[in-house]
Amino acid sequence: MKPDYPMKEIAYQAGVSLATVDRVLHGRGGVRASTVDRVRAAIGELQRQTETALQSGRRFTIDVVMEAPQRFSGSVQKAFEAEMPAMRPATFRCRFHLAETMEESEICAILAKIRKRGSHGVVLKAPNSAEITASVGRLTRKGIPVVTLVTDIPDSGRLAYVGLDNREAGRTAAYFILGFLKGGAGPVLVSLSSTSFFGEKEREQGFREVLAQSANPIDTVSISEGFGKDRTTGAQVAGLIKRYPDICAIYSIGGGNRAIANAFKAAGKGYSVFVGHDLDRDNIDLLRQNRLSLVIHHDLRQDARSACQLILRHQRLLPASFDVAPSTIGIATPFNLPVAV
């Protein structure tokens, strides 16, 4: 054991003599096990205090780049702004680059500008494409860590992914829909904002896996490339209802849920169950109106906190062993809604 601290400091921290510390460090024996544990604990305490001291006064600027409907990106922005003060003694400042839709070239241009200007880290929600993967790789080679949020870009060299286990979220949705339908029924509408988002495809895969294992298989019909926007998503759903008037359930992976519910109402059609994602204002209103059955959600503040912590780890201000777990899946119904969002 070769700690980075003088024996005098270790002895003071542990409340033992210099001779005892010397015996423990050199494995000479003659020391009670409890005393050995105390010395080792003291070294760990000194390490943590050193890391805190290193963080003190350090300022970090990170860039949050998101292609997402405003109702979701706004919630993410609020989450980061709420968590940044809690990251003390380090100080974080965020630069937000948010848009409902962006061409891949636009996202890559933003990432190139960040690479040129410099950043302590990038939090990214973007499609999983070759062009964006290459842009992320250029950032990481420049020493700028990238944390993917909600949807992953797995082959890009990104530092880590934070958010739900999307496959498990899709399986959870299938479990509830099968429970509501209880056997024979018409097809289930599966709505994605875009197939280019890796996380949405994972949710769809998990959903279909559980449906395929059911004793009473249920057909599905799908839409995508509405990008979660009300106008495009609503028009897609209206057209699908004409072709499949017996749709009995909805799994909305990509948003636009108000438009989906309105399209069914305009067609004079009902549904047995409607499962969506994320506790944004639209979804809370739809739950209160009993137009959504339940919402699968997670704590965006946990995501923001995890992203900042991973960037601190990259900066060597948290232990190399530090890691984060996938966000916990939450279920919201009309009976357990938050007071406000």
- Minimum mean pLDDT range among 57-61, 94-98, 160-164: 57-61
Task: Return d(Cα 116, Cα 144) in angstroms, integer.
Answer: 11
Task: Return d(Cα 245, Cα 186) in angstroms, integer.
Answer: 9
pLDDT at 55: 59
Give the model's confidence band at 30: pLDDT under 50 very low, under 70 low, under 90 confident, else very high. confident
Task: Return d(Cα 338, Cα 299) in angstroms, integer.
Answer: 12
- Terminal Cα-to-Cα distance of the chain (whole angstroms): 51
DSSP secondary structure letter of residue 318: S
Task: Return d(Cα 260, Cα 29) in angstroms, integer.
Answer: 72
Indicate the SS3 state at residue 24: helix
Indicate the SS3 state at residue 181: helix
pLDDT at 34: 87
Q: Which of the two residues, 89 and 16, has the higher pLDDT score?
A: 16
pLDDT at 339: 64
Indicate the SS3 state at residue 20: helix
Strands 330-332 and 160-162: unpaired
pLDDT of residue 263 exceeding 90: yes
The contacts of residue 117 (CB under 8 Å, 6+ apart) are none
Percent of the chain with pLDDT over 90: 72
Instruction: Write out pLDDT tens, residues 32-46.
Output: 888 888 888 888 877
pLDDT at 288: 95
Instruction: Write out pLDDT tens, residues 280-327.
Output: 999 999 999 999 999 999 999 999 999 999 999 999 888 999 999 999
pLDDT of residue 340 exceeding 60: no
pLDDT of residue 341 exceeding 60: no
Indicate the SS3 state at residue 220: strand
H-assigned helices in 1-144: 7-14, 18-25, 33-55, 70-83, 104-117, 130-141
Nearest one of 95, 75, 93 to 84, comparing CA atoms: 93
Q: Which two tokens stand for residue 319?
A: 């232990």
Nearest one of 42, 39, 22, 20 to 31, comparing CA atoms: 20
pLDDT at 1: 57
Instruction: Write out pLDDT tens, residues 165-212.
Output: 999 999 999 999 999 987 667 899 999 999 999 999 999 999 999 999
pLDDT at 49: 66
The residue-averaged pLDDT of 144-167 equals 97
Nearest one of 186, 206, 325, 179 to 277, comparing CA atoms: 206
